[in-house]
Structure 1
Amino acid sequence: MKLSASVSMWVVVFGAVLFWSGWNPYDRYIWVLEVLPAVVAALVLARTRRNFQLTPLVYQLVLIHCVVLLVGGHYTYARVPFGDWFMELLDLQRNHYDKLGHLFQGLVPTLVAREVILRVRVLARGGWLNFFLLCFALAVSAFYELIEWWVAVFSETAADAFLGTQGYVWDTQSDMAMALLGSLMGIIALGRCHDHQLRRSSSS
């Protein structure tokens, strides 16, 4: 089956970054843990593309989120050079690249859930939909924090690198706050653009 230009570009970018990410990462075990969600997401999108094709906006945001995960997996989140540069620029006490990941962890699931809910007509646009999306984003974030905890318990040698707390006592709470912020950004800043693409896809 012939792929469209946008799908081909998605696959090329994802494949190239995945290859780079897996080439001599800082810690192979941590790399597998960090990259696995991106690979699973790509497989799910490939499996559902024919029967439930999403809007271009959602596909693009998923790709960006995957790139964030793949970069974090290559270096580990506490050692990403961009985060180090940002830390030195603003005289921060830790590398905050992980917060970028948690921002997308709230934004991307929010828009994916929004699209599915609106297309299946579970909820109409409005306050209840937005409330559900915020709760959904927080639930995803909380579940991921549980996964991090389980990994830390069963693999003590990888705990610090995978958790990426960098000594910050409120790391879990701030991670969830960033996910909530990402969800709000998706609803407020991208809602209209998303609606426009949904209308176009339904009329085509």
Structure 2
Amino acid sequence: MKRDHSVIIHIFLFLVVAAVLIWSVIRPEGYLIWLAEVFPALILVITVIATYKKFRLTTVSYIIIAILSILMFIGGHYTYSKVPLFNWIKDHFDLNRNHYDRFAHFLKGLSVIVIREILLRLTSLNKGPWLVGITLSISLAIGALYEIIEWLSFKVTKGKKLTEDFLGAQGDIWDAQWDMLLLLIGSMLTLLIFSKLHNRHLSKLKSKRG
């Protein structure tokens, strides 16, 4: 019987994500802000584990999910505006803010591959302009929903420090617009660069399933 090496990769990814999660919960900036920041990643990881046998994704999708989860765990530990490496970059290049949140929103564009896979496997959509348009729209819709949640939390708590840390706006009134723009750019570049690789992974998965 031929061994499925992809399972070994998936287990490795899970162990890495679990290790970063454990690290992130050890003396974070604050436990409430940690929970607010990592909650989406926790739901995502739990969903992936629960559906692994019934609806296994491609390895490239699992790699992306691992990357995005780790990004959120790091942001939850330090808060997005206080990640040390980006504080160093801020000081070294005399920038006006910590850009970890910008970097994270750009990389969240990688999620379009996971969205693309779900659409191709669970709907009648085929590869082409409609798939690209709908995939980008869903990515932006998810990003917009998160920005609305941040705005509502700010309104409900009347701008308390916990919510300010959660927003990570750092005084920029256009923070939400920048986040959405970078998500769009990241999503478009991801589709442009990784769609062919994703197609190969989808073909391999299909051949394994018979």
| TM-score bin (small chain) | over 0.9
1:196 corresponds in structure 2 to: 200
State TM-score, norm by structure 1. Answer: 0.94
Instruction: Choose 64-73 or 113-122, whichever is displaced more.
Output: 113-122
SS at 1:95's partner residue? coil
Contact in 2 for aligned 1:106/1:138 (Cα 8 Å): no
Q: Determine the structure 1 residue equivalent to 2:31.
A: 28
Q: Which amino acid aligns with 1:62?
A: I
Shift of 1:107: 2.1
Tell me how large the CA RMSD over aligned residues is.
Answer: 1.4
Q: What residue identity is the alignment partner of 1:134? A: L
Equivalent residues of 1:148, 1:163 under 8 A apart: yes
Does structure 1 residue 134 correspond to structure 2 residue 132?
no
181, 184, 192: which is aligned to 2:185? 181
1:90, 1:178 → 2: CA distance? 21
CA distance in 2, matches of 1:175, 1:65: 15
* Counterpart AA for 2:57: L
Displacement of 1:121: 4.0
Distance across 2 between alignment mates of 1:89 and 1:136 = 37
Partner Cα distance (1:89, 1:5) in 2: 40
Q: Which stretches of structure 1, 4 residues or longer, exceed 4 Å deviation after superposition?
A: none
More displaced stretch, 149-158 vs 65-74 = 149-158
Gaps of 5+ in 1: none
Q: CA deviation at 1:169?
A: 1.4
TM-score normalised per structure 2: 0.91
Q: Which amino acid aligns with 1:116?
A: I
Query: Does 2:77 correspond to 1:74?
Result: yes
Aligned partner letter, 2:138:
F
Unaligned runs of 5+ in 2: 1-5
Give percent identity, aligned residues only. 36
Quote the offset at 1:113 in angstroms. Answer: 1.3
